[in-house]
A = this chain, B = another copy of it.
């Protein structure tokens, strides 16, 4: 086993790499990624190593190469340094490395790295720091400190802007304009091939304590790359202080008016001048202050646990949710790996709507609004996709990139071990539950925030048009005199052409019901909106359609054993012993033994599917049904999606399976943070990180919102003494403190009355003092 992540039991804000191991490069690149939602950059080390993946992404800057799926292009790198000391290339696989420590400070967003490197009898001390600013989204900073410890040294350092990086061989950028300006300022102007987005990267290099003009510098302009090489002599114990302050601007930026190439170039130059008087330290402090002011200060979340990793995981999750989310621009959404890697090409999946959106709804409603607005902005593509498939209404793409692109799912995947061909990925064609998932998220946003403006301008249209899609999508089965939904993929993507996937059918039913309810009452509640939408989609016909079809839509009920069949065929498929594939990190072996076609014929489920259904519609199923289905599906579920375990945790908590709940919680928590040093290579698991919050607040905190009501039914694990958190509900910020005995709720905003469900009753939350709810069974 490679050396694993170092934690600090007394500090849940830091995690470290305490020993350099080139096998772990990709892991740390992902989990130590920096960003601010506008840009994200993997933590590739300053010096290069084979196998590194040196990625920088700008949210929403999608480009398409040939017939490949649209993806976030890997922008030129600015952090790389080539350092020679007395002619010896800095490379930690040579010489001796001591006192190595690379640390991500989650609180400040700064990444530091220090070590002593001894080679050929000479020792050198290094300290590197870098950050991506939360105070100025265009800004990235890097600081380098090098001290020869034993004797004077000749230093040769090459640094610049390197656009020779690719997305695993795919090049999205043209080789455009390179410029060297005074004060060691370099600029690259480049453009994506197909989407023709312009990017300007400007880097200024500074030598503290040296007369910059006197530095021996030479700049080379190569293909997509310009680098300066500096020669310096350092006395023994003399420290070089070098700073590299960079900015990135693009023609998609929504914080400026002029997007032509010249204006972008000028903006980069102007900013370089404006930043000239600010040191790295000043700039990183401003960014750290923004982290405090915008993220940590307003909304502390504190877990008192015997395992310090629980709090660390929550901080880590919130850090990454912050840096991955393009909260600044509703034309963008969250990628399945955030901005931390090339996995899933930066595309948005149902991960946002069902897993990440709740986090933002409850902690940052304005960001949640931006995310659901994105779904509104992508309606044209969803309508196109429905039309292309012969349906009406809006069918959301399985994978979504730029707002105008429609479906961006890849068609070909891994090798089929039987045919030798690449496997066709059907999700983009038939994983249709996404459409109801989007409507579900939109509805939850509206219910939790009471954002009526959004509902009127965007939300209602989404819910009606997705309901309309389902009405057109149903398959009439004459023999059974009912509507079914045939040939789909449910959350269990191992089953590729399922009929009546329970999750899909229930979600479609829910979506159609809500649309029917809205279309019924809209003429009275909002005749203006009704008139607008009626013109667009004939609401009278929609009303009729939904009214006729909904009662005839088949939703799989629990059978005689109280089991809800995952789909029509599942229960009759072959059952195998999966126990050796069920622990975190073991599922890949399943595919060494079975092809996807073969797994399609087994009772093997990729991720929470029926369990997710039971969890989401908790009021629709008896407790015994829940328990029976848990017992049935748990041994058949491989959790081969990072979205799965958090649902299992929360469902187990609901069922009172406390040990199972905490075990699944730990497994889910460890997806990125655990000992598997390969699990995050292609990027962190965005929805799973939101899942850490979901498990904390929904699972153990027992908070849930259902049918417009906020419920609290704490279920703290044995290891947790206390859970202290803030949530937004109906525009009020509520402060919750839970322990084994009670929940106290304080309305911090106190500008409106809200109420809480607990112990099956409604508690109004006072605006002048905390509400205290004793745990049932504890005397008040």
Chain A residues proximal to chain B, CB less than 8 Å = 48-50, 65-68, 91, 93-94, 163-171, 174-175, 177-182, 193, 218-226, 412-415, 417, 420-422, 592
Contacts and interface: CB of A to CB of B under 8 A. Distances in A.
Contact of A169 (B66, B182, B223): B223
Given A165-B169, A180-B415, A180-B420, A66 B174 contact: yes
A218 to B, nearest CB: 7
Which among A169, A181, A182 has the greatest number of chain B C-beta atoms within 10 A?
A169
A745 to B, nearest CB: 51
B420 A65 contact: no
Contacts of A412: 221
Given A169-B171, A174-B67, A414 B164 contact: no
Contact of A171 (B93, B171, B174, B420): B171
Residue in A178, A224, A226, A415 whose Cβ sees the most chain B Cβ within 10 Å: A415
Given A218-B592, A415-B221, A422 B178 contact: yes
A167 B223 CA distance: 9
Contacts of A67: 174-175
Nearest to A217: B417
8 contacts: A65-B171, A164-B166, A166-B166, A168-B223, A170-B175, A219-B417, A221-B412, A221-B415
Main secondary structure of the interface of A (DSSP, over half): loop
Contacts of A50: 48-50
Given A49-B50, A179-B420, A421-B179, A168 B164 contact: yes
B420 A181 contact: yes
A193 B194 CA distance: 13
Contacts of A219: 415, 417, 420
Nearest to A170: B171
Nearest to A175: B68
Contact of A166 (B171, B174, B413, B417): B171
Given A166-B169, A169-B224, 10 more contacts: A93-B94, A164-B168, A164-B169, A165-B169, A166-B166, A168-B223, A170-B175, A219-B420, A220-B415, A221-B422
A523 to B, nearest CB: 52
A428 to B, nearest CB: 16
Contacts of A170: 171, 175, 223-224
Given A50-B48, A415-B220, A420-B181, A66 B193 contact: yes
Nearest to A52: B50
Given A164-B168, A166-B169, A169-B165, A226 B415 contact: yes
A715 B594 CA distance: 75
Most buried by B among A67, A168, A220, A413: A168
Contacts of A179: 420-421
Nearest to A162: B169
A454 to B, nearest CB: 39
Contacts of A222: 168
Contacts of A182: 420
Contacts of A180: 415, 420-421
Contacts of A221: 412-415, 422
Nearest to A181: B420
Nearest to A48: B50
Nearest to A187: B420
**Pairs A-B, 6 closest by C-beta atoms:** A164-B169, A180-B420, A171-B171, A66-B174, A221-B415, A168-B223
Given A93-B94, A179-B421, A225 B592 contact: no
Contacts of A413: 221
Given A50-B49, A415-B220, A68 B174 contact: yes
B171 A414 contact: no
A45 to B, nearest CB: 12
Contacts of A592: 218
Nearest to A65: B171
B220 A414 contact: yes
A182 B222 CA distance: 44
A736 B221 CA distance: 49
A169 B421 contact: no
A169 B420 contact: no
Contacts of A178: 415, 422
A168 B223 CA distance: 7
A94 B220 CA distance: 32
A442 to B, nearest CB: 34
A177 B177 CA distance: 35
Contacts of A91: 93
A669 to B, nearest CB: 28
Contacts of A174: 65-68
A111 to B, nearest CB: 22
Nearest to A226: B415
Contacts of A223: 68, 167-170
A692 B29 CA distance: 50
B171 A225 contact: no
Contacts of A218: 417, 592
A225 B167 CA distance: 13
A221 B415 CA distance: 6
A166 B179 CA distance: 24
Contacts of A164: 166, 168-169
Contacts of A226: 415
A570 B164 CA distance: 40
Given A66-B193, A179-B421, A181-B420, A169 B415 contact: no
A96 to B, nearest CB: 13
A483 to B, nearest CB: 39
Nearest to A419: B180
Nearest to A191: B66
Contacts of A165: 169
B171 A163 contact: no
Contacts of A168: 164, 222-225
A316 B523 CA distance: 88
A221 B168 CA distance: 13
Given A166-B169, A221-B415, A175 B66 contact: yes
Contacts of A415: 178, 180, 219-221, 226
